[in-house]
Amino acid sequence: MSNHEHRSCGVLVLGDLRQTLTVVRSLSRAGYWVVLGRCEAGYAVGKSRCVADVWEYDVDTEKSPQRFARALAEYLDSHPEIGCVFPVGEKDISLLTSCGDLLPRSVAYAMPGETVVKTCLNKIATLRLLGELGVPLAEYRVAEGRDELNSAIEGVGYPCIVKAETEQTKIFGLKALVLHSCEELNALIEQWPKGSARWIVQKYFVGDRRNVYFFAKKGRLLSSVEVHIGRTDRVDGTGYAVEGVSVAPTASLNESTKRLIERLDYTGVGCTQFLVDETGEKTTFLEINARLGANFAIAYRCGLDLPRWWVESALVESALGVESPISPAEGAVGKRYCWLYGDVQGFKHALFGLDAPVRELLAWPLRIVRSWLLADTHVTWDWQDPMPSLSKMAEMFSGPLRRVSSVFAKIPRRWSCTRPDPTLG
């Protein structure tokens, strides 16, 4: 298959997420015909000028691997121009992985192998693997359900971080929860999610977050860029990153990433996450995502066109059965990014949640403006493709405006606004 032939084919991108915007823009600029596949509208990616068409499937289809595989096969049969399927989010990758041999073989799939995906999705399995590899880890315990939380927390001590075995399970809507005392746990334990979910309790580690976005082939790291996370959308540092800058590679983090990639025989794109203390000497592994990170736009801005590389690699190997030539590269250093939508949402949460110090509330708007002005790239905003970002911002403010309007509509009138009758009086 020639370069011209595979670039002119279509790519079905699954998942309406903020990183999907960077994916569709990358592939469209590379000459691909891009179709967005989604179960429900999320980040308004369908409004992007880089999306040629949208394939929508219902929630029932998403819940059944067999039903999804049939729906996908039917769609691909009616759209023979599509040569590659690119699942972006964790949920989309999990769904395709669960389909197994039911997936249509007429197209290539830009996703890591089944074993890699299942290992990365299971945080407990990943932590155990890292222990075998000698990758630095903060002390942790595993709690089987909420009944074992107390004993697990006693094992590591306060303060500690509690997170679920998989990223799809949230704790009170959060990715992770910081607990500073037994009193905090007791106040939450009655509302704690019930069931058989396993929880990871890890010693709280104070440090800067670092993300390493990478591209690997058969266990060999080819390209990467390290990003220092400046702020998140939560006061305690958990949550989603809203500001960051690309930095020179840290030797220990690069080595840890290489070890993990080699052991997993990893092929594809991914992101490893770490914490680094203020001295730069102590580190701890956070997690590995077998997908593009949510703020992947910064890696793209740094010169790593991972979506294009991944699709071209998948297409060439599917058609010819040979490894596509991808030259090793390092991302540019000193590039800044911001995520305006997440930053504003985080400020709203802190403001109305009444759980942030006053000084934080006063400084937050200034930080939002500063990061916006200094950013080299914005996670979702693009002057040449503005509609997705504008739609999300309008959606953010439309709800509160409707609520305010409804409140005013219920206020009884205390005076008349009718025109007076000149015949009276």
| Chain CA centroid to CA 43, Å | 12
Asked whether residue 378 is assigned to any structural domain, the reply reads no
d(CA 121, CA 94): 8
CATH number, domain with residue 79: 3.40.50.720
pLDDT for the residue numbered 191: 80
Place of tokens 């500001």: 243
Asked whether residue 248 is assigned to any structural domain, the reply reads no
Same domain, 7 and 67: yes
Asked whether residue 268 is assigned to any structural domain, the reply reads no
Asked whether residue 62 is assigned to any structural domain, the reply reads yes
Domain boundary, last residue among 183, 203, 223: 203
CATH number, domain with residue 158: 3.30.1490.20
**Is-contact 109 96, C-beta < 8 A?**
yes
Same domain, 83 and 158: no
Same domain, 11 and 106: yes
Cα atoms in the Cβ-side hemisphere of radius 13 Å centred on 372 = 14
- Quote the pTM value: 0.85
pLDDT for the residue numbered 313: 87
Asked whether residue 110 is assigned to any structural domain, the reply reads yes
pLDDT for the residue numbered 419: 41
Asked whether residue 182 is assigned to any structural domain, the reply reads yes
Domain boundary, last residue among 153, 179, 203: 203
Place of tokens 């007791």: 186
| Chain CA centroid to CA 182, Å | 31
Asked whether residue 191 is assigned to any structural domain, the reply reads yes
Same domain, 109 and 160: no
Same domain, 73 and 110: yes
d(CA 270, CA 296): 10
d(CA 257, CA 263): 10
Same domain, 151 and 187: yes
Walking along the chain (425 residues) 10 residues at a time, the average pLDDT comes out as 51 95 95 93 91 91 89 94 94 91 91 91 90 92 85 92 80 82 86 79 91 93 94 85 95 94 94 90 90 93 93 78 63 95 91 81 93 94 92 79 52 42 44
Task: Copy the structure tokens of residue 237.
Answer: 């540092």
pLDDT for the residue numbered 418: 40
Same domain, 49 and 83: yes
Asked whether residue 222 is assigned to any structural domain, the reply reads no
Domain boundary, last residue among 150, 180, 203: 203
Same domain, 115 and 143: no
Same domain, 163 and 89: no
Strand ranges of the sheet holding 176-179, from the earlier edge strand across to the other edge = 140-144, 198-203, 160-164, 176-179
Same domain, 78 and 163: no
Domain count, the chain: 2
d(CA 49, CA 357): 42
**In three state form, how does the secondary structure of the chain look?**
CCHHHHHCCEEEEECCCHHHHHHHHHHHHCCCEEEEEECCCCCCHHHCCCCCEEEECCHHHHHCHHHHHHHHHHHHHHCCCEEEEEECCHHHHHHHHHHHHHCCCCCEECCCCHHHHHHHHCHHHHHHHHHHHCCCCCCEEEEECHHHHHHHHHHHCCCEEEEECCCCCCECCECEEEECCHHHHHHHHHHCCCCCCEEEEEECCCCEEEEEEEEEECCEEEEEEEEEEEEECCCCCCCCEEEEEEECCCHHHHHHHHHHHHHHCCCEEEEEEEEECCCCCCEEEEEEECCCCCCCHHHHHCCCCHHHHHHHHHHHHHHHCCCCCCCCEECCCCCEEECHHHHHHHHHHHHHHCCCCHHHHHHHHHHHHHHHHHCCEECCCCCCCCHHHHHHHHHHHHHHHHHHHHHHHCCCCCCCCCCCCCCCC
Same domain, 13 and 96: yes
Beta-bridge partners for 46:
none
Looking only at the bridges linking them, the beta strands covering 53-56 and 220-232 are unpaired
What domain range is 46 assigned to? 3-119
**Cis ω before 159 (30° cut-off from 0):** yes
78 CB-near residues (< 8 Å, 6+ apart): none
Q: In 3D, which of 273, 258, 185 has the Cα closest to residue 227?
A: 273
Same domain, 20 and 48: yes
Q: Is 117 exposed, middle or buried (0-12, 13-18, 19+ CB in 10 A)?
A: buried
